[in-house]
Amino acid sequence: MTIVRVEPDGGTRVPGPDAEATAEVPGALPEALTGFVGYLLRRVFVRFAASSGGPEDGPRDFLVLDALTGGDWASQLDLAERLGINRTLMVGVVDRLEARGQVLRTRNPDNRRQYILSLTDEGRSAVAAGRRAVAERDARLTAALTPEQVSRLKTLLARLLPPGTQDLVQGTEHLVAQAHHRLRRLGDAKLAGTGLRIRHYGPLALLATSGPCPQQRLAQELAITGPATSQLVDELVAGGMVDRGRDPHDRRRHALELTEFGHVQLKRVAEAVGLLSAETAELLGPGGGAELRALLGLLLEPDHPGVAEATGRRD
């Protein structure tokens, strides 16, 4: 499950690809969640991220450089919001790009509180090289799809991005990442003030139907690792939504069970999931949800050759 940290500016940050990727069990997909575009999108995002093999900042730096190819950007903060980058992280991105001589940052004469970002010749060279690398990597990651399916996947993913952002994000991998982050933000926003996150739906729903459930079984059902399950359960216990009792079938083990408050919270998060699903369906258009789920499912096939090659796995 995704873990969100609160940044000093009040925004949120998701741990890097390695942290999120290691929470997942490759190849396992819980049937109860595969009907949701957001869940499949997160699994594809995690799978792509796990195969990156590069620094966490690389993709983010490229996104900013690529966005500047269309011309100067009058507000660093506005660009960060368009790209879905936390403002604190954006400062670090621009600092790095400026230190490399790829971006020029100057005060906006019309608003001294804002910075204008401009691409330098060095930055244009970096974009050209980056685009070639993105195209090569995308070809490997989407090897399970036909060219027509890749084109359709990009079209559907772009519909999930905020207006005015679609043209700023290039490449399937970047589209997956941005669409994943946006759906998560939309879902969490619907739960503001409740102590819940959209990621809590899976464990709460499974515990509601499974009764007292050993933590190991919950991990298996959610297809996440033991450490990730422990952290998630700790959140739910601390929030008063789950009790740790004894397994009635094996008194040596602990079993997890929803509290009364947990059932109340499940209704809240289920309502948010329903609203998010409806909003996603509206963004994708008639038939778009089913089509996107099918395409994402192909990318999650265990024997997907592109991911196997990108991760260096040889089955």
Is 2 inside any structural domain?
Answer: yes
- The whole-number average pLDDT for the span 60-80 is 86
What is the SS3 assignment for 29?
A: coil
Mean pLDDT for the chain overall: 82
CATH code at position 40:
1.10.10.10
pLDDT above 50 for 54: no
Q: Count other C-beta atoms under 10 Å from residue 55's C-beta.
A: 11
232 found inside a domain:
yes
Residue 84 is encoded by which pair of tokens? 């879905």
What is the span of the domain harbouring residue 84?
55-141
Say if residue 306's pLDDT is above 60.
Answer: no
Share of the chain above pLDDT 90, in %: 43
Q: Is residue 149 part of a domain?
A: no
- Which one of 141, 175, 206 terminates a domain? 141
Same domain? 71 vs 121: yes
Work out the average pLDDT over 17-42: 72
pLDDT recorded at residue 144: 92
Rounded to an integer, the average pLDDT of 1-9 is 33
Among 17-31, 114-128, 167-181, 190-204, name the most confident range.
190-204
Mean pLDDT of 121-138: 89
Q: Which amino acid is at 282?
A: E
List the strands of the sheet with 250-258, edge to edge: 213-214, 250-258, 242-247
pLDDT at residue 107 tops 90? no
Q: In the numeric block, which tokens belong to residue 93?
A: 């991105």
CA–CA distance, 4 with 199 (Å, rounded to integer): 10
pTM across the whole model: 0.77
pLDDT at 15 over 60: no
Provide mean pLDDT across the span 3-28: 44
258 and 111 assigned to the same domain: no
pLDDT in tens, 257-302: 999 999 999 999 999 999 999 999 999 999 999 999 999 999 988 6
Number of domains the chain is built from: 2
pLDDT digits (tens, 9 = 90+) for 216-232: 889 888 888 888 899 99
Examine the domain organization and report whether 71 and 88 are in the same domain.
yes
Candidate ranges 98-107, 129-138, 168-177, 261-270; pick with highest mean pLDDT: 261-270
DSSP assignment of 180-205: HHHHHHHHHHTTTTTT--GGGHHHHH
Mean pLDDT value of segment 226-254: 83
**Dist. CA 97–CA 119, nearest whole Å:** 10
Specify whether 194 is located in the same domain as 288. Answer: yes
Residue 312: per-residue pLDDT: 39
